[in-house]
Structure 1
Amino acid sequence: MAERRSGNRLAALDGLRLLAALMVVIYHYVALARPWGHTTDTIFPTAHMAAQYGWLGVEFFFLISGFVICMSAWGCTVGEFAVSRLSRLFPAYWAGILLTVVVVKTWPEFASLHGWDTVITNLTMLQGGNDTPDVDPVYWTLFVELKFYLIMAVVMLFGVTYRNCLILCGVWTAAAALAPVLETPLVTEFAMPQYAPFFIAGIAFYLMRRHRPNAILWAIVILQLLLAQRYIDYRLATNLGKAAGDALPTWPARLIIIAAFALIGAIALGAFDRIQWKWLTTAGALTYPLYLIHLNIGMTLIHHYRDQIPAPVLVAEVTALMLATAWLIHRLIERPLGKWLRTTMRRGIDDVRQHVTPRRGHARSAAPQSPTASDTAHNDRPQPHARTFESV
């Protein structure tokens, strides 16, 4: 089955990433009481109701990530995938940590640090695995993403193919469905039952785009949409507290999830292929640094100026400032440092290959060797879509 539309950049996904990020930003700035000192229903009587569901932007991110990471991993070796991910994630992340530490240490009125050992551990992005507090609470999603990358890396060892992706979807669905009953910490940790439906559906949507939709892929998507409903009450309680979560209706969250599936499905089917607005590329580039810096820094500013600037104006100004700062991080840090990291890591991989290959071939004849079957298979793989689009 031939891949379709292989040369198109999916600009619509860039726009959806920014939409998801802004959902999370508005949720934190408008729905939560902490930066304002009291509940926000009297400050934003109408916007408050909608903003309470903005945490679903995270689920939207995971759905997009399933699509994009499957696309990025296709035709890659594990080493190439690792270089791509590390050079993409860490420059803006390190900048976000540095900026957050500076702001929190300068104005410790909203958030505080748990010690420099916490900051240093956060630099690894592995704090979620050793029970170290996050420098900024939004970093918890990064560890979820890292586990997804590890799962994809395992698939890559066997080859990212249509068949192997279907096997992944089936095995992961079973593990996520059984994890609450098995009560095995390791299974639960990697099956991620609350978030697995979004990653798995994203993978299935990408397979639709690459290999055309069919009954099996639609069945996977519908099953994940149904399984995603299971944890809406849990997510409401986690984000808003049990009392507020119990009081809120769940139907808006269900509609938002359905809308997210529908939008990614439309992209998979090519409905938005004609959308190639250049500003969407910039919008997508801002998403990751915006997500990293908006919470503790933005809420500190809101807390500091809440009695001096009208609330709607303050939210608009802080959001605009966060977007401008995200653009600066992208242009001045993320792009140049990411490029340097990619070059350095690729050079390191090449050095390893140069040292390993001669040893393996030392006892062999000096005659040219014909390509192996695995080499031929690798070279014959369809090349992925342009890898300029990356996931959060």
Structure 2
Amino acid sequence: MNRKETVVTAARPNPNIVYSIQLLRGLAAMLVLVRHTAKFAYPGHAFPVGQAGVDIFFAISGIVIYLTSRKLSWHVFVRRRLARIVPLYWLATTLALLAVLAAGGTGVTHGTATVLNTVGSFLFIPTFDGDGRPFPLIVAGWTLNFEMYFYAICAMVLATPLRSHFTRFVSAIIVAGVMLGCVLFCGNGDQPGWAPLYLLLPITLEFVGGMLLAHAWTRGVRTPLWLNLSLVVAAIGWLALAPSSEPYTPFRPIGWGIPALAIVWAAFASEERIPFARFRFGLLLGDSSYALYLIHPIALAAWVVVLRKLPVKLPSSLAAVLAIVGCVVAGILVHLIVEKWLVRIASRLLGLRRPPSPACMESTETAR
């Protein structure tokens, strides 16, 4: 065994797992969690860089779909995505709806809910809430609407002869949608009157960016470690200097998407040379990232209620740290106890031989 083979084996004990991507999932979820915690603890100083966690998630989504799904039949692809995404999201949305009803129609973290907003939340369709804001019952769920849009385009391509050029045609459709969105947005003051049009925003280009990174990676493209480290440093500087980017800002891919893609590539291209598999807690956090992402708004809202009832007022920094730790523990427990169980049940109901795993970049044969 030569030196290169030894390094690859040591860095990737399981060749079906891309460990760098798992760690990035955990990082992305933590960035979003810290961002939202800061909004509660330090109003007006809310760690805006944390928003880049979403852009990292979108890039990772493009990578995962390229590595695991571009050769699946369209119906297997759809069933796998539904089993992986829908059960926990519906559970979290149901909990949010119950909280809204208990509060007399006021959302857990925003505005007021409507019937249309509730239905759209469960169906992953952007709708306006009672205050005219384009967010589902769980505000963080706005990203899931974009995920499902991306999956719908992928499924459509897989269902046609265009599947032999999957990446090319998925990218073309998304780019065409963005171009149409630019025309519609410019003619409507950057605020569409029909909420689903938000899906045509340029942020969807980050999925394309992720697929292109995976395309290059599978063809053996790698960059040296010194360049990867330089990319991370430059990306952090870019994010620190970039203007705040709200969820539906048209120029978000420039301010947040480009540095997010740089961070993702830096880790991805170092997969065989850095033993990411040794970071066990980080990998567990990556496995739990979806649960943490969905559950943390509910956990934070509950923590605010607890703080108000405490006989003493905790310092903001201590309250924030306790909230972050509590959300991480809750996310891991929900992943291990609830999410895995729900995914197994959904996979069985949908006729999948194996439940989809967040950790495994499975071949098309084992994925069926």
Q: Output the TM-score relative to the length of structure 1.
A: 0.66
Matched residues in 1 for 2:120 and 2:177: separation? 29
CA contact (8 A) 1:118 1:134 kept: no
Aligned with 1:126 (options 124, 130, 154): 124
The answer for the alignment partner of 2:321 in structure 1 is 316
1:62 has 2:70 as partner:
no
Per-residue CA deviation, residues 311-342 of structure 1 (Å, 9 max, x unaligned), is 11111111111111112221222111211111
1:84 has 2:80 as partner:
yes
Instruction: Report the count of equivalent residues.
Output: 312
The answer for the alignment partner of 2:235 in structure 1 is none
Corresponding residue SS for 2:123: coil
CA contact (8 A) 2:140 2:294 kept: yes
Corresponding residue SS for 2:244: helix
Name the CA shift for 1:11/1:280 in 2 (closer, same or farther; >3 Å): farther
1:294 has 2:296 as partner:
yes
Matched residues in 2 for 1:100 and 1:190: separation? 23
Task: Give, in angstroms, the shift of residue 257 of structure 1.
Answer: 4.4
Corresponding residue SS for 2:57: helix
Task: Give, in angstroms, the shift of residue 205 of structure 1.
Answer: 0.8
Corresponding residue SS for 1:288: helix
Task: Give, in angstroms, the shift of residue 39 of structure 1.
Answer: 3.4
After TM superposition, list the pairs within 5 Å mapping 1:14-29 onto structure 2. 14-29=22-37
Amino acid at match of 1:9: I
The answer for the alignment partner of 2:215 in structure 1 is 207
Task: Give, in angstroms, the shift of residue 304 of structure 1.
Answer: 4.6
Name the CA shift for 1:145/1:285 in 2 (closer, same or farther; >3 Å): same
Percent identity between the two aligned chains: 20
Name the CA shift for 1:81/1:125 in 2 (closer, same or farther; >3 Å): same
Task: Give, in angstroms, the shift of residue 127 of structure 1.
Answer: 4.5
Task: Give, in angstroms, the shift of residue 68 of structure 1.
Answer: 1.0
CA contact (8 A) 2:198 2:248 kept: no
Matched residues in 1 for 2:111 and 2:198: separation? 28
The answer for the alignment partner of 1:145 in structure 2 is 147
The answer for the alignment partner of 2:331 in structure 1 is 326
Name the CA shift for 1:330/1:105 in 2 (closer, same or farther; >3 Å): same
Name the CA shift for 1:127/1:143 in 2 (closer, same or farther; >3 Å): same
Amino acid at match of 1:153: A
Per-residue CA deviation, residues 116-147 of structure 1 (Å, 9 max, x unaligned), is 95686267333525878622211111111110
Amino acid at match of 1:328: L
Aligned with 1:72 (options 49, 68, 72): 68
Task: Give, in angstroms, the shift of residue 156 of structure 1.
Answer: 0.9
Amino acid at match of 1:139: G
Matched residues in 2 for 1:200 and 1:339: separation? 29
After TM superposition, list the pairs within 5 Å mapping 1:116-265 onto structure 2. 117=115, 121=119, 124-128=122-126, 134-158=136-160, 163-181=165-183, 189=197, 192-213=200-221, 236=244, 238=246, 254=255, 257-265=257-265
Max radius of gyration: which structure?
Answer: 1
Q: Which runs of 5+ in 2 are unaligned?
A: 1-7, 223-237, 354-361
Matched residues in 2 for 1:200 and 1:40: separation? 33
CA contact (8 A) 2:167 2:211 kept: yes
Name the CA shift for 1:137/1:154 in 2 (closer, same or farther; >3 Å): same
Matched residues in 2 for 1:326 and 1:208: separation? 33
Amino acid at match of 2:338: I
Matched residues in 1 for 2:165 and 2:352: separation? 33
Task: Give, in angstroms, the shift of residue 7 of structure 1.
Answer: 3.2
Amino acid at match of 2:67: M
Matched residues in 1 for 2:115 and 2:258: separation? 42
Q: Output the TM-score relative to the length of structure 2.
A: 0.69
Q: Which runs of 5+ in 1 are unaligned?
A: 42-47, 215-228, 242-249, 349-381
Instruction: Give me the CA root mean square deviation.
Output: 4.1
Per-residue CA deviation, residues 288-312 of structure 1 (Å, 9 max, x unaligned), is 1111122243044236516621111
Per-residue CA deviation, residues 28-51 of structure 1 (Å, 9 max, x unaligned), is 221x3xx45x7354xxxxxx5xx1
Per-residue CA deviation, residues 211-265 of structure 1 (Å, 9 max, x unaligned), is 3449xxxxxxxxxxxxxx9xx98x8363699xxxxxxxx9xx84x6444222322
CA contact (8 A) 2:96 2:138 kept: yes
The answer for the alignment partner of 1:39 in structure 2 is 43
Matched residues in 1 for 2:96 and 2:367: separation? 29
